[in-house]
Structure 1
Amino acid sequence: MGFLGDIGSAIMTPLYYAVSGILLVWHELFSQVLPETSGYTWVLSIIGLTVTIRTLLIPLFVKQIKSSRNMQLLQPQIKALQQKYKHDRQKLQQEQMKLFQDTGTNPLASCLPLILQMPVFFALFRVIDRAAQLGDDGGGRGFMTDQDAEQLQGATLLGARIADTFINTDLIGTRVLTMTLVVIMVATQFITQRQLMAKNMPADALSGPYAQQQKMLLYILPFVFAISGVIFPLGVLFYWVTSNIWTMGQQFYVIRNNPGPGTPAFKAKQERDAKKGRTVTEDPLESAKQAEIEAKPKPTRNQPKNKARNQRKKGGKP
């Protein structure tokens, strides 16, 4: 357990410094116009931290969109491989991996922004949680000093202390604001996922076991966030809500202006372009399907062999 703890500390310690450093830079900026001990100053600093992290993740988000689009375009070929090697699972996996490598597609790229955000989320959780539990050894972590931690611990917003959680406070204001943020967090998570499934997924992707799994997650994840939200410090909830709103807005912009092929959003963009007199972009997914149909060998019709006149008479009905 000590060895694993050392590994975890080696991974998280740089993140503590990065998160606390960015947080304190924003705090210093907002302290120029607001009291440095104010809850508004600390909450705006957390929002600034969120914007900074999400801005740094934009290249990964672009990569995620490209990978998702490639996956949609490859669906006809993947289905053909599944049909061809349905009795040889190992060969199917090899051929799929070869297809992904040849086309430069990474099926895991869609998870990268979320995966890379989680360590930052936990680092912020630990920074705020340590400040909330200010003890004899101080509450500073990373670049945050004990004085900074003391300020954060006592900072209030609308009668709520931003370092407290729903379950460790007796303040009504903290509980009301916490539940409000949990509701917003759950709603934005649901709307973002629903928007993706309804507008930016082709009809073929909405059927099958994978689609059913996505639909289950659509309704299960909000409950998970709602339950876990009561143990998060209020400041961490501000981070998560801001991140969700960023994701929702970013996804809306991408779906509207650069939608995936073969999706309702792509057809809607074609209609808008047609109304504005712009050149209507061809749907690459439909083109790929049409090319696949045209590439299939057409059945040949067996023509009867030429027969002599007397042979045709003999073969005919009397």
Structure 2
Amino acid sequence: MTEILGFLSIILGPLMALMYQAIPSYALTMIIFTILIRVVSLPLAIKQQKSMAKMSVYTPMLNEIQQKYKNNPEKQNEELMKFQQEYGYNPMAGCLPMVLNMLILFAIIQVVYHPVRYILGIPADAINAACTALGISTSNVTLAETQLITAIKAGTDVATSLTAEQIGLIQGFNTSFLGMDVCTTAGFALSPLLIFPILATVTVFASNIIVTRMSGQQAATQGSMKIMLWVMNLMFAWFCFTAPIGFSLYYTTSNICMILQSVLTNKIYSPERFKKEYEAELAAKKAAKKAKKEVVVVEEGQEVTKQVNEAELNRLRLERARALDAEKYKDERTRPLTEAERMELEEQSKSKKKKKGGK
């Protein structure tokens, strides 16, 4: 699953490789790359904040429609579609940042599973051949390349599987951070490595609470949405313990950046300000719908001037369109023949044939 969802690794991996060439430290590359990703995604975060503010304004109206037509699903869907068209409401508008964050997370998982391939640029075939030569199972994607790095740094000979240049790249691969190897997996055993997944887990739940409150999303993240969000956080927290700790380093940095980003956007782009703007916009649209317009309609063959609001105007337009269609297609049959009508037509047809024959 991670390979399928981590398809962005074909883009993010080479970008991180370029950064590693400039900063020959895998851990620092991961931290700086994470910060840059957060900076680039700031416009999306602002867009999401706007979307959530708009949703908080429109939610009472949507709930009213759902309650009013709860026993008529077809009419309910019709009214919801009409609401979206009239007010420009898009329920999926705030999902893009969430989906993008998830795809980036899975892409980073792929990179930390395969640092030799993505950071050092060594082909997958050569890596698999080297692992096979050393008796390392390539089916264990979590540990295969980590074990390969450890073996080569220990001086194990794999000259038949890798070139001297490739072996040199792996031997010189700087994976140290605070005296620990970020290519290793923490697991659940007591060790100094546990600090990384623990920090990642604490910061993800802290960021979830802080970001939700500051962005005004409490109303939007209720019920199944709230449960899904917490399940996703638990899933990625599990990855932190089972994946190489390079992922925990990324996740911790990302969560801290998200908290800081939320504080910043809350000050500059206050969700309360957005909410007031959308409330004013909604009030203006409602007023426009109620405003009277002067139109000329035809009643009993005479033109009559009327004062109507938008809803009444739409009704008149619909009635006029139906009348024109009825006039246009009045001679066309719109229902199947009854048995009596069919027999009558047959008799008429026979009668016409007899008359022609008599002539």
The reply to whether TM is greater than 0.5 is yes
Residue type of the alignment partner of 2:87: T
Bigger CA radius of gyration: 2
Q: Do residues 61 (structure 1) and 45 (structure 2) align?
A: yes
Tell me: CA distance 1:110–1:149, structure 2 relative to 1, closer, same or farther (3 Å): farther
- In structure 1, distance between residues paired with 2:96 and 2:74: 26
1:43-192 equivalences under 5 Å are 43-131=27-115, 135-137=128-130, 146=166, 150=170, 155-167=175-187, 175-177=191-193, 179-192=194-207
Letter in 2 for 1:97: M
Confirm or deny: 8 A CA contact 2:187 2:242 kept in the other structure.
yes
Counterparts of 2:173 and 2:285, CA distance in 1: 63
Distance 1:86 1:176, change over 3 A: same
Cα 1:27/1:292, change in 2 over 3 Å:
closer
Aligned to 1:258: 269
| Aligned counterparts of 1:48 and 1:147: Cα–Cα separation in 2 | 26
Moved more, 100-109 or 128-137: 128-137
Unaligned runs of 5+ in 2: 118-126, 132-144, 149-164, 288-359
Of 222, 234, 240, 1:229 maps to: 240
Most deviating of 99-108 and 281-290: 281-290
1:311 is aligned to none
Cα contact 2:197–2:240 (8 A) shared by 1? yes
Structure 1 equivalent of residue 315 of structure 2? none
The DSSP-based 3-state class of the residue aligned with 2:10 is: helix
- 1:91-128 superposed Cα distances (whole Å, 9 cap, x missing partner): 22332233234433332333322312333332332233
The SS at the match of 2:183 is coil
2:90 partner SS: coil
One of 165, 171, 195 as aligned partner of 2:210: 195
TM-score, length of structure 2 as denominator length: 0.56
Alpha carbons 2:211, 2:258 under 8 Å: kept: no
Contact 2:186-2:197 at 8 Å conserved across structures: no
Other structure's SS at 1:211 match: coil
**Per-residue Cα deviation, 1:150-183 (whole angstroms, up to 9, x for no partner):** 2586622223211111139x9x7xx423x22222
Structure 1: 5+ residue stretches without partners: 31-35, 267-280, 295-318
Could you tell me how far 1:246 is from its partner in structure 2? 1.4
Q: Partner amino acid for 1:63?
A: K
Equivalent position of 2:346 in the other structure = none
1:34-85 Cα deviation digits (max 9, x unpaired): xx3xxxx211111222223223322322221221111111123213212321
Aligned counterparts, 1:274-289, within 5 A: 283-284=276-277
Q: Distance in 2 between matches of 1:80 and 1:284?
A: 22
Q: Distance in 1 between matches of 2:43 and 2:75?
A: 34
Note if contact 1:194-1:218 (Cα within 8 Å) is conserved in structure 2: no
Assess if the C-alpha contact under 8 Å between 2:54 and 2:275 holds in 1.
no
* Alignment CA distance shift 1:222-1:176 (3 Å): farther
Quote the Cα distance in structure 2 between the aligned partners of 1:107 and 1:24.
38
- Percent identity, aligned pairs only, is 23
**What is the distance in 1 between the residues matched to 2:253 and 2:174?**
22
Provide the secondary structure at the position in 2 that maps to 1:283: helix
Letter in 2 for 1:56: V
Distance in 2, matches of 1:202 and 1:114, equals 13
Distance of 1:61 and 1:92 partners within structure 2: 31
Instruction: With the length of structure 1 as denominator, give the TM-score of the two structures.
Output: 0.62
1:176 aligned partner, one-letter code: P
- The residue type paired with residue 194 of structure 1 is I
- SS of equivalent to 1:74: helix
1:242 to 236, 247, 253: 253
Q: Which amino acid is 2:203 matched to?
A: T
Shift of residue 147, structure 1, vs aligned partner: 5.4
Give the corresponding residue for 1:308.
none
Q: Give the distance between the partners of 1:180 and 1:55, measured in 2 at CA.
A: 26
**Aligned alpha-carbon RMSD (Å):** 4.1
The change in CA–CA distance for 1:239 and 1:137 in structure 2 (over 3 A counts) is: same
Q: Size of the alignment, in residue pairs?
A: 249
Please say if residues 109 and 247 of structure 2, whose CA atoms lie closer than 8 Å, have aligned partners that are also in contact: yes
Shift of 1:199: 4.4
